[in-house]
Structure 1
Amino acid sequence: MLFPSHALAPAARGTLSIARYGIGAALTAAGLLAASASLAATGMAARAGNPASNLCSPAHRGFDLVQDKHVALGSLQAHASLQALRDTGANTVAIVPLLRQSRPDTPDVDRSLDMSDGELAHFIRQAHKLGLQAVVDPRIQVSDGRPDDVRMGSDRDWAAWFHHYEQALVGLAAVAADEHAQALVIGTDLDQTLSRPEWTALIARLRRVYPGRLIYAAQGAAGAQRVPFWNKLDAVGVTLQPVLDAAGGPASWRAALAGERKHLLALARQTGRPIFVAELGFSAGPNPAAQADSHAMPPPSIDATVQSRALSTWLAELSNPAIRTVLVWRWNQAEQNGGFIAQDKKIAQAMTRRWRSCSRAPAVW
């Protein structure tokens, strides 16, 4: 089941992580990079190509999956959920361990909310046995804020924050290396950290531990344009939450994503890196102007049929050789009564109709 929406209304801003990563969350993973040479074709929209191949674009497609506190990753229920994810035609799953930070301005990052190394290793192995490619995508859950609020008050605190963050990532990177995960996301939506010089040493340390693809996921194209270290990574990662105008239709939904697409393709050409959409979800409002607050929680009136149609429209909009990975937020391992989970499975069924005829052969990373 999907949970495309992940944001809170401004009044509940401090608990965003619960809505985005919390109970019942599931990991998203989508494929990763293409060789730089393939980026010569980025100026051509895939819509102009073979319609059948467009349905199977991007090469790495799937969902984000976060551990459900009610469903152990080693359980039969979790395995059945992973099989159902695979049966949509997805070929990638992103496993999302949660890191804890007590406040945006404290450097106490730790793995106290995280799954164990054994659970992570087991789930990567299960994904591989099912023919899925696995991405390890750790994310910070800030108790009184969001990841983009993380900001230290002094260089000393920044050094401490990066030390603790590195310790958490290195442990996860070691598991990813041992289990041959296809990619490791080293940070998501950490906007106010991007200018810090500590990123250079952190990336170098992770390279020594993990030999696979390293990715950072910025907030949309605007955030991606501010990242100074793309040349040290293997893909340009982004999270995308276009506004979903429930009263609109495909034309308005395409328009909500058109600007992002244009800027991301330009960035792919500029950096020589493929695009990795670590999260495709949505926020919603009565009209496109509502995107001024991209963290507004969609009203329950947006039903699963509209959600599934919008996601299909956005996947078509993102069909381009430069966009190698798209992961949909998010896949849940158990039925839930709250939030925006498609309990009638219409969203999962829409993805199945789109992807079921696609080759299950692993795409080249």
Structure 2
Amino acid sequence: MPSPAFAIRRWRLVVFLLLAVVAATAAWWRWSRPQFVASTHVAGPTTPPPADNRLRGVSWVAGDSVSSLDLEPLVRARVTWIAQTPFGWQAGATTPTIQLHTGVGHRGYWGESDRGLVLTSQRARQRGIRTLLKPHLWLRGGSGTWPGDVKMSSEADWQRWFASYSVFMLHYARLAESSGMAALCIGTELQHSVGHEAEWRALIAQIRAVYRGQLTYAANWNAEFEQVGFWDALDFIGIQAYFPLSTTERPTKAALLKAWQGPLRRIEALQKRVKKPVVFTEIGYKTTPDAAIEPWAWPNRTAVAATPDEATQATCYAAMFETFWPRRWFQGLFVWKWYPGLQPAGLARRYLDFTPQHKPAEQVMTAWFGK
């Protein structure tokens, strides 16, 4: 039987070995991902952005609370707007009814409830940050996976869908008005519905009767933004700007600037025709080498060989800002996306993600938001 002294020495040896393993693991992480760790601190400016009414925005990820500490990084990054996204639930792409949940519902996020939306907006406004309320539809099972799949099987179902959708949207229009939210997005990527122009114009008139802020619609990048016939009834053109810009990984900024010329011509042609400013209601890039190939696609977080590529993400940001920010008709954008309270130490599980936080892309965004 070992003596007490031997047992103590053995326990000390075990503790020493455990500490050595922890130190070695930390060193491996630090040196195996130098690009990821080196840029975790972004020095924030103390000067406010220019007072030019541009929307310097981020898409705010709802959580279980919000504090002034969560908003301080936005102030440092010269952000002046956040987009908040509550959800309506639709059983399938051909189902003509939408369920409205105003409390902490199926997803369990306080920040998506009416109370959370209002409190977040109030606390943001205290820091000089305005809110775009941007309700989305969530398709639960059945046919379809995103709002662009919503397509009724008959004209009668379309009428039922618009009646249900109007109840959903008018609830948030009244909420936005009562809480002083500065803008409302009346729909997102509902590409099969935009041909029903009369129904959309009727809904816009109903919304205008209860809400006095700015209105937009968030049209998908593919062809939907050119098919919307009711832009004249809104205050600005909204585009979900996930345009594919490359067929190869790690494109140069010069290649991206060239690739932007096609989408730019299409957007400029629409803007000249309808004479409304343009806002990218969403735009963002993964932290991966293929970020510009299919910008809308989520990264595969389970890929064993996946490595972060902060340089490509930052290059995508730089090319986008350089293409659009100098144009007078361009009214702003909302970066997808921003996690409240995200610290460098907690970034590991999101290092492939769309967020620019604690990465060179945040520095690019902050610099352009200051112009």
Does the TM-score normalized on the shorter chain lie above 0.5?
A: yes
2: CA distance, partners of 1:257 / 1:123: 35
Match of 1:329 in 2: 336
Distance in 2 of aligned mates of 1:285 and 1:263: 27
Change (3 A) 1:121 1:221: same
Give the gaps of 5 or more residues in structure 1.
Answer: 1-53, 359-365
Distance in structure 2 (CA, Å) of the matches to 1:305 and 1:287? 10
Aligned match of 1:208: 209
Q: Is the 8 A contact 1:91 1:132 kept in 2?
A: yes
Distance 2:134 2:253 in 1: 30
CA-CA distance at 1:272 after TM superposition: 1.1
Partner of 1:123 in structure 2? 120
Counterpart in the other structure of 1:167: 167
Residues 56 and 354, structure 1, Cα contact 8 Å, conserved in 2: no
Residue 264 (structure 1) shift: 0.9
Cα distance change, pair 295–181 in 1 and its aligned pair in 2 (3 A): closer
Structure 1 range deviating more: 87-96 or 276-285: 276-285
Q: Distance in 2 between matches of 1:57 and 1:263?
A: 25
In structure 1, the residue matched to 2:11 is none
Q: 1:314-325 alignment to 2 at 5 Å?
A: 314-319=320-325, 320-325=327-332
CA contact (8 A) 2:188 2:217 kept: yes
Matched with 1:42 is none
Distance in 2, Cα, partners of 1:228 & 1:193: 11
Task: Give the 3 Å change call, closer, same or farther, for CA 109–322 of structure 1 in structure 2.
Answer: same
Q: Structure 1 residues 331, 296: closer, same or farther in 2, change over 3 A?
A: closer
Task: Encode CA deviations 1:305-337: one digit per residue, 9 max, x unaligned.
Answer: 321221122111112111102111111124461
- Match of 1:192, SS state, is coil
Partner deviation per Cα, 1:246-265 (whole Å, 9 max, x = no partner): 32110122233222122111
Q: Is residue 2:69 matched to residue 1:80?
A: yes
Q: Per the alignment, in what secondary structure is the counterpart of residue 227 of structure 2?
A: coil
**Of 348, 351, 361, the match for 1:347:** 361
User: What secondary structure sits across from 2:192 in the alignment?
Assistant: helix
Of residues 102, 105, 108 in structure 1, which corresponds to 2:94? 105
| TM-aligned CA deviation for residue 199 of structure 1 | 1.1
Q: Deviations over 1:271-290 (max 9, x none)?
A: 011111100124788697x5
The answer on whether the counterparts of 2:250 and 2:312 sit within 8 Å (CA) in structure 1 is no
Contact 2:135/2:187, CA 8 A, preserved across alignment: yes
**Residue from 246, 259, 262 that aligns with 1:256:** 259
Q: Would you say the 8 A contact 1:59–1:324 is kept in 2? A: yes
- Cα distance, 1:120–1:298 mapped onto 2, change above 3 Å: closer
Say which SS state the counterpart of residue 191 (structure 1) adopts: coil
Q: Return the offset for 1:110.
A: 2.1
Partner of 1:133: 130
* Shift, 1:136, TM fit: 0.7
Question: SS of the residue aligned with 1:174?
Answer: helix
What is the CA–CA distance in structure 1 between the aligned matches of 2:290 and 2:123, rounded to whole Å?
42
Residue 85 of structure 2, aligned match among 96, 100, 103: 96
| Residue 96 of structure 1, CA deviation | 1.4
Is the contact between residue 151 and residue 193 of structure 1 (CA under 8 Å) also seen in structure 2? yes
CA contact (8 A) 1:55 1:316 kept: no
Matches within 5 A, 1:1-365: 59-68=54-63, 71-72=64-65, 75-76=66-67, 79-112=68-101, 113=105, 115-144=112-141, 145-196=145-196, 197-220=198-221, 222-243=223-244, 245-282=248-285, 290=293, 295-298=296-299, 300-319=306-325, 320-333=327-340, 334=342, 335=346, 337-338=349-350, 339-340=352-353, 341=355, 344-355=358-369, 357-358=370-371
Shift of 1:171: 1.3
Q: Assess, with a 3 A threshold, how the Cα gap between structure 1 residues 125 and 226 changes in structure 2: closer, same or farther.
A: same
Find the residue that maps to 2:256 and give its secondary structure.
Answer: helix
**What's 2:31 paired with?**
none
8 A contact 2:90–2:97 mirrored in 1 = yes
Give the direction of change, closer, same or farther, for the CA distance of 1:308–1:86 in structure 2 (3 Å limit).
same
Shift of 1:123: 1.3
Cα displacement (A) at 1:143: 2.2
Distance in 1 between the 2:364 and 2:258 partners? 21
Using CA pairs below 8 Å that are at least 6 residues apart, which structure has the higher relative contact order? 1
Unaligned runs of 5+ in 2: 1-48, 301-305
Contact 1:63 1:328 in 2 (8 A): yes
Offset, 1:184: 0.5
2 CA distance for matches of 1:273 and 1:266? 11
Query: Cα deviation per residue 1:171-222 (whole Å; 9 max; x = unaligned)?
Result: 1111211222221000011000011232121111111111111101111262
Percent identical among aligned pairs is 25
